[in-house]
Amino acid sequence: MTWLRILLDRTAVLFLGVAAGVAIGYAFGTGNETKEAVSLAPEAAPVVAPRSIAPPPPAGAAAPEAETPKGTVAEPAENSAPSVDQPTAQITGKVRDGGAIHVGVFGDSFGDGVYSALYRLLPPKAGYQVDKYSQPSTGFTRYRRLDLEQHDDQQINGQPLDVAVISFGANDAQGVCDGGHCGALMGKFWQRVIAARVESYVAMLRRHGAQVYWVGLPVMRDTAFDTDARAMDEFYQNLMARLDVPYIDIRPLTADAQGQYQAYYLDKDGTPRLLRAGDGVHMSMNGYIRVTKALAERIRASVAAAKAGDADTGAAQ
């Protein structure tokens, strides 16, 4: 009855909604198509859109990867305690006042999916408000089209922001131009420009009082694109360590037992579940929830630490 299980799973994904479904998938194409030719041609000035906090993306279907799932690995064990990050003064204050913890998700179309998953994993009834700041077809190599720091600073515009989750990268698998010079992907010029932009972007989020997290990229189906994604993951992981920003590594959750791309994973009862969208870049809704569970637990642990610290302070008085 394996085929019936897969059919039911695909149907469930259809009705749950896939943040990286048909519309989002077009933003990336099939991996290497996201790389733009590096040129110095002028572009129109970006238009800064007003901040918009939207509900989860509408339902969308993820194209099937195969008739029979292959190379699946089991759902990881959940008996390990999540890392506990020192809560910021802003989170501690929110806990003391009984206010909702505002989690903002910043990114490209992959970030849209991260938002959709966190919206479900951190619901209002648990004391969270997950806000969408992500925008498809954006990235740190595309500042001539849209300056992310300026744009997102204006999107926040005094609104509450306690936790900032960053999910960029797949659109940045290309060269970058800055100050009349251009450099190839992962070259010294590229690394210098992107590091400076990301460091300034993180500083902007921290000025708003946010506790910042960075979500890495998954394994990509296209091998050449995956090579680029792996290199960027390593670059961003090292950069986040220098900036003291927790890095959420999702590659292990998107690889099979041999470390290769997989379209399905096995849940706790051994049922195959659709993991990826049909473009080989984005995730299914199940997939986004799978790769953000640990992050949601980490955020909850930090908030719980703030509550425990506040309770201890009250007891000591």
The DSSP string of 20-83 is TSHHHHHHH-SSGGGPPPP-----PPPP-PPP----SPPP-PPPP--SS--S--BPPP--SPPP
Q: Residue 287: pLDDT above 60?
A: yes
Instruction: Please give the average per-residue pLDDT across 149-155, as a whole number.
Output: 97
309: confidence class by pLDDT, cuts 50, 70, 90: confident
What does the alpha-carbon distance between residue 60 and residue 21 come to, in Å, rounded to a whole number?
5
Check: CB of residue 154 under 8 Å from CB of residue 135. Answer: no
- CA–CA distance, 174 with 182 (Å, rounded to integer): 11
pLDDT in tens, 174-214: 999 999 999 999 999 999 999 999 999 999 999 999 999 99
pLDDT in tens, 253-272: 999 999 999 999 998 889 99
Lowest mean pLDDT among 24-33, 107-116, 173-182, 188-197: 24-33
- What whole-number percentage of the chain has pLDDT above 90? 68
DSSP β-bridge partners for residue 183: 176
Confidence (pLDDT) at 158: 86
The structure tokens listed for 306 are 């703030």
Q: Are 284 and 68 in contact (CB under 8 A)?
A: no
Q: Is the dihedral of CA 184, 189, 191, 196 positive or negative?
A: negative
What global pTM score does this model have?
A: 0.78
Q: Determine the longest span between alpha carbons in the chain, in angstroms.
A: 64
Q: How far is it, in rounded angstroms, from Cα 263 to Cα 301?
A: 30
| Token reading at 107 | 């990114």
Is residue 221 over pLDDT 60?
yes
Among 154, 107, 113, 161, smallest CA distance to 135 is for 107
Distances (CA, A) of 224 to 57, 203, 230, 236: 30, 32, 10, 19
* pLDDT score for 77: 52
Instruction: Give the pLDDT band (50/70/90) at residue 82.
Output: low
Instruction: Pick the range with the lowest mean pLDDT from 155-159, 217-221, 300-304.
Output: 155-159
Q: CA-to-CA distance for 86 and 91, rounded, in angstroms? A: 10
Q: Name which residue leads in pLDDT, 119 or 69.
A: 119
- Does residue 26 or residue 295 have the better pLDDT? 295
User: How far apart are the C-alpha atoms of 295 and 241, rounded to whole Å?
Assistant: 17
% of the chain at pLDDT higher than 70: 72
**Any idea where the domains of the chain sit in the sequence?**
2-30+71-316
Q: Residue 247 belongs to what H/E stretch?
A: strand 247-248
- Homologous superfamily (CATH) of 2-30+71-316 is SGNH hydrolase (3.40.50.1110)
Average pLDDT, the chain: 81
Q: Does residue 54 carry a pLDDT above 80?
A: no
